């Protein structure tokens, strides 16, 4: 602790150490965006939409309702850890191939939820996929194409 109001924090984001001084009420989402991780989207900012999902210590995590102090020393991964324009991650490629992206606002969070799911369960049923993404709202796609894309990756199918 540095003084009564600010706390020193250090965590890793996409394998890079990030340090800062934060207020006790700072959320992980605001900390990430303040450190230029704008790929983590701010939607509802109250735990309802899933847009801000990151992977924290192996679990999909809503960064808007996680205090950055809880993330002290954690390993955080955002969607930028997945792939690049030249070499998309299989989930990113499947979202493109199955047209599971429209406006794209939900996509970073949806991809991280899908990644966390497949790390835990590499052959989920469609029901398990639906259950896993139930906290990630998408106003555009109707979800079927998203489920198709995640299922295709789990089965190793390319469109």
Region of 2-10, 12-20, 114-122, 136-144 interacting with ligand FES (CB under 6 A): 136-144
Residues in the interface with ligand FES (CB under 6 A) total 22
Tell me if 91 contacts ligand FES by CB under 6 A: no
Tell me if 48 contacts ligand FES by CB under 6 A: yes
The least CB distance from residue 41 to ligand FES, in Å, is: 7
Q: Which one, 6 or 149, has the nearer CB to ligand FES?
A: 149
Q: Which one, 139 or 144, has the nearer CB to ligand FES?
A: 139
Residues pairing with 59 in the sheet: 56
Tell me if 52 contacts ligand FES by CB under 6 A: yes
Cα dihedral sign, 78-82-87-89 = negative
Residue corresponding to tokens 């900012």: 45
Q: Which one, 103 or 122, has the nearer CB to ligand FES?
A: 103
The least CB distance from residue 4 to ligand FES, in Å, is: 29
Phi-psi region of 14 (alpha: psi -120 to 50; beta: other; left: phi over 0): left
3-state SS, residue 65: helix
CA distances from 74 to 5, 41, 50, 56, 110 (A): 22, 20, 20, 7, 21
Distance of CA 144 to the CA centre of its chain: 20
Tell me if 116 contacts ligand FES by CB under 6 A: no
């Amino acid at each position: 602790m540095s003084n009564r109001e600010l706390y020193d924090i250090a965590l890793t984001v996409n394998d890079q150490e990030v340090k800062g001084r934060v207020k006790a009420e700072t959320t992980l989402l605001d900390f990430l965006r303040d450190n230029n991780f704008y790929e983590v989207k701010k939607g509802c900012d109250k735990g309802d939409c899933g847009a801000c999902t990151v992977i924290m210590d192996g679990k999909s995590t809503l960064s808007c309702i996680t205090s950055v102090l809880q993330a002290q020393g954690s390993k955080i991964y955002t969607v930028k850890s997945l792939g690049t324009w030249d070499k998309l991650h299989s989930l990113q490629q499947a979202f493109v191939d199955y047209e599971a992206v429209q406006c794209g606002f939900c996509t970073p969070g949806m991809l991280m939820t899908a990644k966390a799911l497949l790390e835990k369960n590499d052959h989920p049923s469609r029901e398990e996929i639906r259950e896993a993404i139930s906290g990630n709202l998408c106003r555009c796609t109707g979800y079927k194409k998203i489920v198709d894309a995640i299922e295709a990756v789990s089965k190793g199918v390319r469109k």
